Copies of this chain bind each other. A is one copy, B any other.
Amino acid sequence: MLELAILGLLKDQPMHGYRLKKSLETLGAAWQPSFGSLYPALRRLEKTGAVEKVVVEERRSRKTRRGSDKPDRTRRRKVYRITDSGESAFRDLLEGEQGAHEERAFSLKLAFCRYMPPEDRLGLLERRRAHLTERLAQFRSQMKQSMRETKERMDTYTLSLMRHGLDSTESDIRWLDDLIAAERTSGQLSKKGDRS
């Protein structure tokens, strides 16, 4: 999850950890990893060779040169760049089935799906659609079931929660349908010569 996000952002441009976190917040929203997971993740990625340091910026350019006593103990910002091996790790994470039914994973993958081949992109959207459709069916059968049984009566709040969940899921499916349709159309177009 985090590693996918990091690699995806670094594909765009080299960055240091702090900036990475800011960018992450701007991304899909609804998820801000903490520094406590971000920095260790960067280390892991560096150790496995998926990213590498580009610069360790020389700070203290103008002022603050009071003697230069303890010369190197400072924590400078470390800018990382994605490597070739990182690019392929990114592809694996993006196309893999990790957290296939998690909201966050899907959002993140969608945010980076411009890097996918069109057919995989369609696959991602359709798997998500199938999953939501299944959930919808479960929702409905459960509501019917609890309607029938006078015992085990659902209270107003649970009922409202389920109804809203149902509506939201339907809305999600409609949204996906739009994306899928757009995807197919652009696929059609590129067959007629729009390749690039």
A window 133-164: CB within 8 A of B:
135, 138-139, 142, 146, 155-158, 160-162, 164
Let me know if A165 and B114 touch, CB within 8 A. Answer: no
Task: Give complex CA distance A114, B175 in Å.
Answer: 34
Selecting from A22-30, A63-71, A75-83, the interface stretch reads: A22-30
Chain A residues bordering chain B, tally (CB within 8 A): 30
Number of copies: 2
Decide if A130 is an interface residue (CB 8 Å cutoff): no
Let me know if B26 and A161 touch, CB within 8 A. Answer: no
Assess A175 versus B164: contact at CB under 8 Å? Given A114-B157, A157-B111, A157-B113.
Answer: yes
Let me know if A107 and B161 touch, CB within 8 A. Answer: yes
Task: Give complex CA distance A64, B175 in Å.
Answer: 56
Task: Give complex CA distance A111, B27 in Å.
Answer: 31
Let me know if A158 and B27 touch, CB within 8 A. Answer: yes
Which residues does chain B contribute within 8 Å of A29, judged by CB atoms?
A: 135, 138-139, 142, 162, 165
Task: Give complex CA distance A171, B165 in Å.
Answer: 11
Task: Give complex CA distance A167, B172 in Å.
Answer: 10
Decide if A122 is an interface residue (CB 8 Å cutoff): no
Decide if A179 is an interface residue (CB 8 Å cutoff): yes
Decide if A110 is an interface residue (CB 8 Å cutoff): yes
Task: Give complex CA distance A142, B25 in Å.
Answer: 10
Decide if A168 is an interface residue (CB 8 Å cutoff): yes
